[in-house]
């Protein structure tokens, strides 16, 4: 082999070694950034998700189906055309799911639209959605070109009575029969000018309450983004929300609506189980509650001794690596008998995940290392 020919593999080997070294340096810096102390929302801007549920629905409205195994039907109007909505009364999905079963029924707002041979379905809590083709013949509905089951054609009987759409399965095995289970589970309310303001899911823009920080003048309210369990100065004493998993420390009493959902050390608040509270007579001068969960956690409020001191979207408090939430701490009160209560507002039909309550005799928590 000539000298020049020997140099080529040597140079390639050198470039590979250099690339591995550079990649190692980049990875170590990224890892250091991910494990750095949590910062307060005052020091670090909240990372806003690039797509909100509203924009996801709007994007779905602009999308069109793909003809997988069945030709696209002509875009014609039918008597079924319209927007429909329902509130699934089961608990909403509060966990992160990388591969949940498609069409799995879950609590919260669902939208269903039939328009000019296109069917669209949207789950407001997580943003799950799909699009398919449909046709009708008398009282029969046929659904096809669904990306979750492109080879299946679902057949249903349909009728609309008193402004409500009823679907009955004739034959549909899409997504292990979950499509049929979901869309026939209950009646769908037809969205019309008379029902738009009254039916969740029909209204394009849901009115949001005003966020509140310290509506009670007798105390101070501190809002910190992140997880207080990993702050530079953590609460001196913590009581986890799910006392069925671990009892609260002596002198602290945790109570909650029996319909809240146990989830590890958490209790998940939702519209049918919407409160949790901590009560103590111990001489603390700082008490807080920790909200922390996935991107779909929703609006809540905090009350101190019966007075509302904070209200807002718990998901907007902080975001890092897909986790959302923060710590709401109350100070400036005299030690004595006190109760800190968290409530899900419920209007958004979203879960609110409560991790713990924190208690200190030596002042507030500290987020950043001095």
Alpha carbons 368 and 370: distance in angstroms, whole number: 6
Assess whether 216 and 262 both reside in one domain. yes
Mean per-residue pLDDT of the chain? 87
Q: Please report which confidence band the pLDDT of residue 298 belongs to, taking 50, 70 and 90 as the band edges.
A: very high
Residue-level pLDDT at 216: 73
| pLDDT > 90? residue 219 | yes
**Residue 9 maps to a domain:** no
Tokens 């001068």, located at residue: 285
The total number of structural domains that make up the chain = 2
Q: Are 148 and 175 in contact (CB under 8 A)?
A: yes
Residue-level pLDDT at 15: 57
Q: For residue 211, how many other CB atoms are within 10 A of its CB? A: 12
Alpha carbons 53 and 76: distance in angstroms, whole number: 28
**Residue 200 maps to a domain:** no
Alpha carbons 20 and 61: distance in angstroms, whole number: 45
Exposed, middle or buried: residue 164 (CB in 10 Å: 0-12, 13-18, 19+)? middle
Assess whether 271 and 355 both reside in one domain. yes
Phi, then psi, of 108 in degrees rounded to 5: 125, -165
Phi, then psi, of 6 in degrees rounded to 5: -70, -35
**Residue 1 maps to a domain:** no
Question: Which CATH number covers residue 301?
Answer: 2.60.120.260
Assess whether 144 and 228 both reside in one domain. no
Assess whether 315 and 270 both reside in one domain. yes
Contacts 24+ apart (CB under 8 A), 199-204: 199/85, 200/85, 200/87, 200/109, 200/349, 201/85, 201/86, 201/87, 201/109, 201/110, 201/111, 201/124, 202/83, 202/85, 204/54
Alpha carbons 212 and 343: distance in angstroms, whole number: 14
How big is the chain, counted in residues? 370
**Residue 6 maps to a domain:** no
Question: Which CATH number covers residue 94?
Answer: 2.40.128
- Plot region of 226 (φ>0 → left; ψ -120 to 50 → alpha; else → beta): left
Q: Please report which confidence band the pLDDT of residue 143 belongs to, taking 50, 70 and 90 as the band edges.
A: very high
Residue pLDDT, tens place only, 314-347: 999 999 999 999 999 999 999 999 999 999 999 9
- Range of the structural domain that residue 67 is part of: 53-190
Assess whether 178 and 221 both reside in one domain. no
Residue-level pLDDT at 44: 32
Contacts for 216 with CB less than 8 Å, ≥ 6 apart: 304, 307, 308, 309
**Residue 74 maps to a domain:** yes
Q: Please report which confidence band the pLDDT of residue 45 belongs to, taking 50, 70 and 90 as the band edges.
A: very low
**Residue 243 maps to a domain:** yes
Residue pLDDT, tens place only, 227-277: 999 999 999 999 999 999 999 999 999 999 999 999 999 999 999 999 999
Residue-level pLDDT at 369: 56
**Residue 348 maps to a domain:** yes
| pLDDT > 50? residue 102 | yes
Assess whether 225 and 327 both reside in one domain. yes
**Residue 39 maps to a domain:** no
């Amino acid at each position: 082999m000539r000298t020049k020919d020997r140099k080529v593999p040597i140079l390639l080997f050198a470039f590979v070694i250099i690339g591995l070294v550079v990649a190692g340096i980049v990875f170590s810096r990224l890892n250091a950034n991910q494990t750095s102390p949590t910062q307060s929302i005052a020091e670090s801007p909240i990372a806003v998700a690039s797509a909100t549920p509203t924009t996801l629905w709007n994007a779905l409205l602009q999308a069109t189906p793909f003809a997988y195994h069945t030709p696209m039907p002509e875009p014609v109007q039918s008597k079924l055309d319209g927007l429909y909505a329902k509130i699934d009364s089961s608990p909403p999905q509060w966990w992160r799911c990388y591969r949940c079963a498609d069409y799995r029924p879950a609590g919260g707002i669902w939208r269903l639209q039939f328009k000019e041979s296109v069917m669209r379905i949207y789950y407001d809590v997580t943003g799950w959605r799909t699009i398919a083709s449909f046709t009708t013949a008398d009282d029969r509905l046929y659904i096809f070109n669904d990306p979750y089951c492109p080879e299946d054609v679902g057949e249903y009987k349909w009728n609309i009575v008193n402004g409500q759409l009823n679907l009955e399965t004739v034959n549909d095995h899409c997504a292990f029969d979950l499509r049929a289970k979901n869309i026939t589970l209950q009646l769908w309310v037809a969205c019309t000018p008379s029902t738009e303001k009254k039916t969740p899911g029909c209204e394009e823009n849901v009115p949001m309450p005003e966020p509140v920080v310290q509506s009670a003048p007798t105390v101070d309210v501190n809002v910190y983004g992140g997880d207080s369990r990993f702050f530079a100065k953590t609460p001196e004493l913590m009581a986890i929300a799910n006392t069925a998993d671990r009892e609260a420390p002596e002198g602290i009493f945790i109570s909650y609506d029996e319909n809240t959902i146990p989830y590890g050390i958490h209790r998940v608040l939702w519209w049918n189980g919407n409160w949790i509270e901590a009560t103590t007579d111990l001489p603390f001068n700082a008490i807080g509650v920790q909200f922390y969960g996935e991107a779909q956690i929703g609006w809540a409020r905090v009350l101190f001794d019966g007075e509302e001191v904070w209200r807002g979207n718990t998901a907007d408090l902080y975001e890092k690596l897909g986790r959302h939430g923060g710590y709401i701490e109350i100070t400036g009160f005299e030690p004595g008998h006190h109760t800190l209560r968290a409530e899900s507002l419920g209007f958004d039909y979203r879960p609110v995940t409560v991790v713990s309550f924190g208690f200190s005799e030596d002042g507030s928590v500290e987020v950043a290392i001095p």
